[in-house]
Amino acid sequence: MRIRSFLFVALMAMVSFRVAAAGPDAAVIERGQYLMNGVVACGNCHVARGARGEPLFDKGLSGGMVFDEPAFKAYASNITPDPETGIGKWTDAQLAKAIREGVRPDNSIIGPPMPIEFYRHLSDEDLKAIIAYLRAQPPVKNLVQRSTYNMPLPPAYGPPIKSVKAPPASNKRAYGEYLAQIGHCMECHTPRDGKGMLQHGKLGAGGQVFKGPWGESVSRNLTPHPSGLKDWTDAQIVTAVREGVDRDGKPYRPPMGFGFYKTISDADMAALIAYLRSLKPQAFAGGR
C-alpha cells in the first residue's frame, strides 16, 4: 500500500504541473501535458530527487534521480526552462534533437537509461507538443551531476530524423505500437544480453531485474504466451497498467510509472492492448 500511495502522490504532483493556456497553442500544450503525464511519463525519471532518492515535487522536472548500474552511473537531467542548469537556452530544434536523436546542443551523446531508440518514433506533432509543455513549466535552478559511463556510447543512434508521422488512431494495433514505442514499454519488458543490449528477437518477454529502495522487481512477460498475458482479460491488463496491481491482487513494485499511467485514455489503453495481443508469443525470459 505504501508504494501505491507514493504513486498516487506522484500523480497528484504531476497534475499540479498543469498550465493555464489560451489561444492557438492551448491544444498543443494540452497534448504535451497528456503525453508527459501519461504514457511517456517523463516525470517518472525527471522529477527532482533528494539525497535519499525521495521525490521533491516542489522542484518539478529538475532532475537528479540516480541510476547506478555496473555499466554507468547516470543522473536524470534538469528539463525545466532554467537558462543555467536546465534547457532554457536550448532552441526547439536542439531540444527535439536531444529527445529524438540523443544529441545535445554541444554534440555530446545522451546515454542510457534515456530510451532514445524508442523516442526516435515520436511523431513531429507529439514532439512539438512535448516541447511546448516543457517550455510552459516553471524554471527551476538545480545543477545535476554529469553521468559517467563504463561503456562506449554510440556515435549516433541512427541517421538524422527528418520527419515522423504517427499512424492513425483508427488503426488500433498500429497506433498501439506507436504508443508502446513512445512510452518505451519494451525498454524494460524485453530481456538484455550480456552487453546490455535489448534482445529484439525476444521482444516483450520480460525478465529484466530492477533493484532500488523498494528491493528487487522483475519485468513481466507482455506477450500472449501462457507465461505472459495469454489468459489475461483486457480488464485485468488495464488494472495492472493503471493501478499497478496483478490479477491476484498483489501490488507491483517500481519502476513502473503507475501514477502516470492512470491518466491514459480508454481509447489509447485499448490500442495498447491490441498491440500487446499481436506480439509473437514468447516464453518468460526471467529466471524466476
Residue 96's DSSP bridge partners are none
Map out the domains of the chain as residue ranges.
1-166, 168-288
Residue 254: the pLDDT is 82
Which residue shows C-alpha cell 551531476?
145
Pick from 66, 53, 185, 49: nearest CA to 121? 185
Which ranges of the chain have pLDDT less than 70? Answer: 1-24, 287-288
Sign of CA dihedral 225, 189, 260, 163: negative
Residue 211's DSSP bridge partners are 216
Cell matching residue 229:
498475458
Fold of 168-288: Cytochrome Bc1 Complex; Chain D, domain 2 (1.10.760)
Residue 19: the pLDDT is 43
Residue 42, amino acid? C
Residue 287: the pLDDT is 65
Cell matching residue 25:
497553442
Residue 288: the pLDDT is 53
For 60-86, b/e burial (b = at least 16 CB within 10 A) is: bbbbbbebeeeebebbbbbbbbbeebb
